[in-house]
């Protein structure tokens, strides 16, 4: 069983998508111990003992993560199929660098393909989320909730 199947069918978390199934598109992206990976290219058993974060883990209590709010505000999605991956990789980038330049963002998302937007508003949204995180007085919101996976 591939990790993406465990996430979607056993855990019922369908925010993670199967796009190409050939390790190209990144729609299946999850965070594996905080690092973006393509969940269609890992076996579920390999997650044993590791922390896997899906897009459902971005929300903090009832509140949208700044990345989610920014995608909404800046029209960072059209069909939404790549969006889970884009928001997760954006959150991972911002956890390391909350003031990324355009090139930094484009490099970080270069493993995620979008067929709709032309990437312009995706970049804007991630940068805007960074600005929000830099300005936020509250607790650090750049980490999503994570769950331990024991196979």
Partner 1 sequence: MYPSAFDYRAPRSVDEALDVLAEGGDEARVLAGGQSLIPMMKLRLASPGLLVDINHLGGLDHLARNNGHLAVGALARHADVAASAEVAAANPTMAAAARWIADPLVRNRGTLCGSVAHCDPEGDWNSVMLAVGGEVVARSRTGERTIPAVDFVVDFFTNALAPGEMVTEVRIPVATGRTGGDYLKLERKIGDYATVAVATHLVLDDAGRVAEAGLALTGVSGRNLKVTEAEQLMVGQQPGEELFAQAAEIASRACDPTDDVRGPRSSRGCYSSTWSAPGPG
- Answer for which of 37, 52, 77, 133 binds partner 1 (CB under 8 A) is 37
Task: Report d(CA 31, CA 121) in Å as an integer.
Answer: 22
* 6 DSSP assignment: I
Minimum gap (Å) between residue 110 Cβ and partner 1? 5
Task: Report d(CA 149, CA 75) in Å as an integer.
Answer: 33
- Answer for which of 9, 14, 45, 79 binds partner 1 (CB under 8 A) is 45
Minimum gap (Å) between residue 54 Cβ and partner 1? 15
Contact 12, 4 (CB under 8 A): no
Task: Report d(CA 38, CA 26) in Å as an integer.
Answer: 6
Binding residues for partner 1 restricted to 132-151, rule: CB under 8 A: none
Per-position x/- string for 111-130, each x denoting binding to partner 1 as judged by CB under 8 A, each - no binding: xx------------------
Contact 127, 102 (CB under 8 A): yes
- Answer for which of 9, 10, 14, 41 binds partner 1 (CB under 8 A) is 41
């Amino acid at each position: 069983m591939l990790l993406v199947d465990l996430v979607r069918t056993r855990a019922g978390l369908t925010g993670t998508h199967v796009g190409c199934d050939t390790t190209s598109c990144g729609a299946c992206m999850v965070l594996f111990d905080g690092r973006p990976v393509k969940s269609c290219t890992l076996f579920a058993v390999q997650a044993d003992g590791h922390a896997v974060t899906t897009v459902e883990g971005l929300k903090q209590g009832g509140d949208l993560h700044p990345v989610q709010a920014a995608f909404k505000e800046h029209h960072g999605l059209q069909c939404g199929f790549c969006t889970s991956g884009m928001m997760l990789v954006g959150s991972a980038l911002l956890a390391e660098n909350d003031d990324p330049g355009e090139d930094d963002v484009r490099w970080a998302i270069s493993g995620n393909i979008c067929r709709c937007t032309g990437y312009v508003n995706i970049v804007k949204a991630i940068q805007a989320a960074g600005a929000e995180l830099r300005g936020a007085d509250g607790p650090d919101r750049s980490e999503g909730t994570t769950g331990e996976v024991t196979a």
